[in-house]
């Protein structure tokens, strides 16, 4: 199924499908679990529009490329252009909030990091960003104090709260906009809490954002 932004009730949004702008290492517990250094400035990277996929379609992992890890994240849909924005401008530009997976080929990423190479081939492959439908902004009144979690095969693997972000949601969007113009239809991924690990064919997933649950499965 071709990806299209949509609201929780299934209605499509009149926004193009754009790029995905991401931050690495925005939760301290996740930094510690991977023995990474705490960054002095936010680590940004991007996924192309071809990485986007509907969460309710089977997730297909790349074959023969090592372990693929789950990273559950709050996703923000951009509704207005942001360039050199401030935090308030970022807040009013939000068209919706969702939850998604930053799928990561961890073996490949570790090899790339050792060589000092970019991460894109480990994080930007087709289908590397399955997303839920989006909640309208007023349906998530406290996006900077919201629980998010991932359950795999009945076991909770990741649990966190957006208040634990090292750089807050709207400050993050503003910072991103000083490096890349955020356009309507772009998606911002905001970092993952601890508990990342490998996915396997046949896994069943439950992603939770506040009181909303979204089911997914691996092909």
Between CA 21 and CA 56 the distance in angstroms is 22
Residue 39's pLDDT is what? 82
Q: Do 54 and 60 contact (CB within 8 A), yes or no? A: no
Between CA 209 and CA 190 the distance in angstroms is 13
> What is the per-residue pLDDT across 63-85, written as a single tens digit (0 to 9) for each?
999 999 999 999 999 999 999 99
In the chain, % of residues over pLDDT 90: 90
Q: Does position 146 have pLDDT exceeding 80, yes or no?
A: yes
- Sorted by sequence, the CB contacts under 8 Å of residue 45 that are 6+ apart come out as 22, 24, 118, 119, 120, 123, 124
- Output phi, psi for 124, to 5 deg: -120, 20
> What is the per-residue pLDDT across 159-198, written as a single tens digit (0 to 9) for each?
999 999 999 999 999 999 999 999 999 999 999 999 999 9
Residue whose token pair is 């090292």: 166
pTM: 0.96
- Sorted by sequence, the CB contacts under 8 Å of residue 175 that are 6+ apart come out as 42, 167
> What is the per-residue pLDDT across 192-210, written as a single tens digit (0 to 9) for each?
999 999 999 999 999 999 9
> What is the per-residue pLDDT across 117-136, written as a single tens digit (0 to 9) for each?
999 999 999 999 999 999 99
Between CA 62 and CA 83 the distance in angstroms is 35
Residue 33's pLDDT is what? 82
**Does the domain made of 20-217 have the CATH classification 3.90.850.10?**
yes
Kindly state the average pLDDT of the residues 44-49.
Answer: 97
Between CA 156 and CA 218 the distance in angstroms is 17
């Amino acid at each position: 199924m071709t990806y299209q932004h949509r609201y929780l009730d299934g209605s499509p949004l009149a926004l193009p499908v754009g790029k995905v702008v991401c931050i690495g290492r925005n939760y301290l517990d996740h930094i510690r679990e991977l023995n990474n250094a705490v960054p002095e400035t936010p680590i940004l990277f991007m996924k192309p529009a071809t990485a986007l996929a509907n969460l309710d379609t089977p997730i297909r992992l790349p074959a023969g490329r090592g372990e693929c890890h789950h990273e559950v994240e709050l996703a923000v849909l951009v509704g207005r252009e942001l360039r050199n924005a401030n935090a308030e401008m970022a807040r009013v530009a939000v068209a919706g909030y969702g939850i998604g997976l930053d799928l990561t080929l961890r073996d490949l990423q570790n090899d790339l990091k050792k060589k000092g190479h970019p991460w894109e081939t480990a994080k930007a492959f087709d289908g590397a960003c399955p997303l839920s439908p989006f909640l309208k902004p007023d349906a998530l009144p406290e996006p900077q104090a919201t629980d998010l979690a991932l359950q795999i095969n009945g076991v909770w693997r990741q649990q966190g709260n957006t208040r634990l972000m090292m750089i807050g949601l709207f400050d993050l969007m503003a910072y991103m906009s000083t490096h890349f113009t955020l356009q309507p239809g772009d998606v911002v991924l905001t970092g993952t809490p601890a508990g990342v690990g490998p996915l396997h064919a046949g896994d069943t997933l439950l992603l939770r954002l506040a009181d909303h649950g979204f089911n997914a499965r691996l092909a």
